[in-house]
Chains A and B, each alone.
Chain A
């Protein structure tokens, strides 16, 4: 999640104060990780320095507050960000792949590790399913995103579980099964 670009995007709707921006960010994107006020104002300061927003005092009886507005440069930046596909992030597979590979190399129970990961994924999916039942439509959409990603991970876990014997044979040739046994594992 890019905090500066997300705040910039929120500002494109209408000029806003730091407090309101933080509230909107937390409502739509915070989900368990709220944005500290300090980070909001530091980010807005950098965006102003880079010409993405302009800040002006708002007249009134109360304490002076800065009101931020997006510039044309900032709008171009948001447009470019939105149009740029998100980098696929196969972090889980990378970590899990390393664990499975090392477990096989070390003669440790890779299948049991994958089972534990499968159980953890299913628990998380259950939590997200409950969130869908009780949450707003925004929660539902976010939970769906998480659920589909977890489901993709689970497919990888299932396929890797089915290929463990072959993977062990590829990593440790001396541990390769007899040819007829290998045939069954395909």
Chain B
């Protein structure tokens, strides 16, 4: 494996990746690099390829061409088993819908990834309780997630994503199904806890008010990253990464 030339402090990077679904191109040479500890928002119109880019970065999709690097390793050429392991241990996911098991309780859902990673049952549920407490859901651990409100369910999803102590969280429209005030609270918690733990976040959103929580915003158009709106807080991100 060759050593990649990555931006300093870069944790994950897509290099000139293309991805088509049948005859329909979704990405046409997209490149983006995300620094450790950075919160990056990917914006773009519907069908621009922003979610496909996130899925390629997360190793869920394999690009047709180009490279994806994570922490010095080539992600796109890894075996499926290795990528699955990485997704279980290093990545957390917060999506708009469907990542929780509605028949299980909030505590079960948060503990589940830990149990899959062979953490003892006792330790997994202790950790789950602690994360639910931090997200203001200490009294909802025994409730089935299908009975929770949208905002509560997204907070459970954040607890589940952060419970593993991931290096990186991928969030695809995490507030897409929530009203403004609930969405704002979910974003505040996600960003505050990610910053506290030095966790990198890659966030896809069409909502500029959600993107405003990020350190940096890039715009995807027609399958390429067309505008990098820079970082007003690059120094702050670097400082967090160092700390």
A positions within 8 Å CB-CB of B: 115, 118-119, 121-123, 125-126, 128-129, 133, 147-148, 150-151, 154, 158, 162
Contact = CB atoms under 8 A, between A and B. Distances in A.
B160 to A, nearest CB: 24
Given A122-B217, A125-B209, 19 more contacts: A115-B219, A115-B226, A118-B219, A121-B208, A122-B208, A123-B229, A123-B232, A125-B208, A125-B211, A125-B212, A126-B214, A126-B232, A129-B212, A147-B209, A148-B209, A150-B208, A151-B208, A151-B209, A158-B45
B230 interface: yes
Contacts of B229: 118-119, 122-123
A180 B212 CA distance: 38
Contacts of A119: 217, 227, 229-230
Contacts of A129: 209, 212-213
Interface of B: 45, 188, 207-209, 211-214, 217, 219, 226-227, 229-230, 232
B89 to A, nearest CB: 31
Contacts of B208: 121-122, 125, 150-151, 154
A135 to B, nearest CB: 13
Main secondary structure, interface of B, reads: mixed
A147 B212 contact: yes
Contacts of B232: 123, 126
Contacts of A150: 208
Contacts of B214: 126
A150 B208 CA distance: 9
Contacts of B212: 122, 125-126, 128-129, 147
A185 B155 CA distance: 40
Nearest to A128: B212
B178 to A, nearest CB: 16
A113 to B, nearest CB: 12
B211 A122 contact: yes
A162 B217 CA distance: 19
